[in-house]
Structure 1
Amino acid sequence: MEIIEERGLSTHGLSCIRDDRVLFENLELSLNPGELLQIEGHNGSGKTSLLRILCGLALPSEGRVCWQGESIEDNRLEYNAVLNYVGHKHGVKGDLTPYENLRVSRAMHGSATDITLDDALEQVGLRGFEDVPSRTLSAGQRRRVGLARLLTRQAALWILDEPFTSLDKKGIHWVEEQLHQHSEQGGIAVLTSHHPLKNPHLKQVCLHD
């Protein structure tokens, strides 16, 4: 039998039970470099729970998550180094400015890109807001601060929870472009969203509640 080497993200028999309720079970996923996975489902169907398990922030009830053929539990430091996670709450500290939020994120995670923090904020449309407390920003602007981390860290794997939430048309187009470029460069992305995406390497899975 031919042995196929895993080169990306995969799940094996993945199941999740919360409060005695089965959210999903025996989930088998496989993503190779350049592929995107869009996860859909109603509220409460387990989308965020699945992303947290894929990130290693929560444990599955059964099964395992693997990166390049190795369990992420056995390879945590290396896995964290290739992972860029933007959650639904986007992790922006209100008492810090957008610039300070990005500086802290870059210092904590390393693997910095060549782009400056100022340029990253300008690309997401926050020029002129670099030094204001993030709590004074709109919901869409705070979402942009969180998404700016995609520009400041080198990461082969992006996991994004509802990245289009609170964004205007220009912001939505920017995220679409970043996903396209990431895919073209051989990156992998997993995201939850009902927003229609067009990508020749897009996969989709729907969780049922």
Structure 2
Amino acid sequence: MTLSVTDLSCARGGMPVLEGVSFTLEPGRVLVLRGPNGIGKTTLLRTIAGLQPALSGEITGAEDRVAYGAHADGLKAALTVWENLAFWAGIYGTPLERIKPALFAFDLYPLQYRQAQALSAGQKRRLSLARLLLTGRPVWLLDEPTVSMDAASVGLFAEAVKAQCADGGSALIATHIDLGLETDTLDLTPYKATPVWEFADRAEEEEFFA
């Protein structure tokens, strides 16, 4: 099923940041979000994920089909790598047998009995991404997923995305780096929201802040 976003407007902190965003994400495809820092990539992903309401517009094909990967790793520090994945498998009703392939996919098998708090930043990130393989969700929404990861780890992530798409899934990714994947690109710059108000001239601005 296609993820479709039509004329979507969304806000951050009550202030509109994007307006009129429209795109479709077909099964088997990767769409990369581009734009300068602060343009609203995270806000858009959170809105599509249902973590905050849209100001206007329509989102179809999301519902319970999306898995959202945020900036934060979202790990339980006192649990081991395996226990963290088991926790998320339980949340999504995924058989525990699928943990082992997830460990191998992100080169975590040798670390499976290590507590998350003892992992390096890159290892924590790989563990966070390994959770995606246990969600059973066909659409991945990922916000700068490769932060703290070296080139080899980025390669593992790219392979996981390829497998996701080969299985009929898709991915919407906010990233500044080249993942070495065949992707489509959406530049959010043209969708930057018009300020709610603007000063007519410099004199009016100075008077306002006087």
Please report how far the alpha carbon of residue 138 of structure 1 lies from its aligned counterpart in structure 2 after TM superposition.
Answer: 1.0
2:159 is paired with a residue of what secondary structure? helix
Q: Which amino acid aligns with 1:54?
A: I
The residue number in structure 1 matching 2:198 is: none
The residue number in structure 1 matching 2:157 is: 175
Larger helix percent: 2
C-alpha RMSD of the superposition:
2.0
Distance change (3 Å), C-alpha of 1:30 and 1:119: closer
Please report how far the alpha carbon of residue 144 of structure 1 lies from its aligned counterpart in structure 2 after TM superposition.
Answer: 0.7
The TM-score with structure 2 as length reference comes to 0.82
Figure out how many residues of one structure are paired with residues of the other and give that number.
190
Contact residue 66 and residue 139 of structure 2 kept, 8 A: yes
Contact residue 82 and residue 113 of structure 2 kept, 8 A: yes
The residue number in structure 1 matching 2:133 is: 151
- Aligned match for 2:81, one of 98, 101, 114: 98
Matches within 5 A, 1:75-154: 79-80=63-64, 82-110=65-93, 112=94, 115-154=97-136
Paired with 1:17 and 1:203, the residues of 2 have a C-alpha distance of 25
Determine which structure has more spread, i.e. the larger CA radius of gyration.
Answer: 2
2:20 is paired with a residue of what secondary structure? strand
Please report how far the alpha carbon of residue 114 of structure 1 lies from its aligned counterpart in structure 2 after TM superposition.
Answer: 7.8
Paired with 2:68 and 2:14, the residues of 1 have a C-alpha distance of 28
The residue number in structure 1 matching 2:19 is: 25
Contact residue 37 and residue 189 of structure 1 kept, 8 A: yes
Q: After superposing the two structures, state which structure 1 stretch, 151-160 or 55-64, moved more.
A: 151-160
Please report how far the alpha carbon of residue 134 of structure 1 lies from its aligned counterpart in structure 2 after TM superposition.
Answer: 0.7
Paired with 2:74 and 2:107, the residues of 1 have a C-alpha distance of 18
Paired with 2:115 and 2:15, the residues of 1 have a C-alpha distance of 40
Paired with 2:2 and 2:124, the residues of 1 have a C-alpha distance of 30
Q: Which amino acid aligns with 1:161?
A: D
Q: Which runs of 5+ in 2 are unaligned?
A: 193-210
- Aligned match for 1:164, one of 146, 150, 166: 146
The residue number in structure 1 matching 2:201 is: none
TM-superposition CA deviations, 1:98-157 (whole Å, max 9, x none): 1111111111112x3685323422331223321222112111111111111232332211
- Aligned match for 1:63, one of 45, 57, 60: 57
Paired with 2:100 and 2:14, the residues of 1 have a C-alpha distance of 47
Please report how far the alpha carbon of residue 47 of structure 1 lies from its aligned counterpart in structure 2 after TM superposition.
Answer: 0.8
- Aligned match for 1:47, one of 41, 45, 67: 41
Matched, 1:35 2:17: no
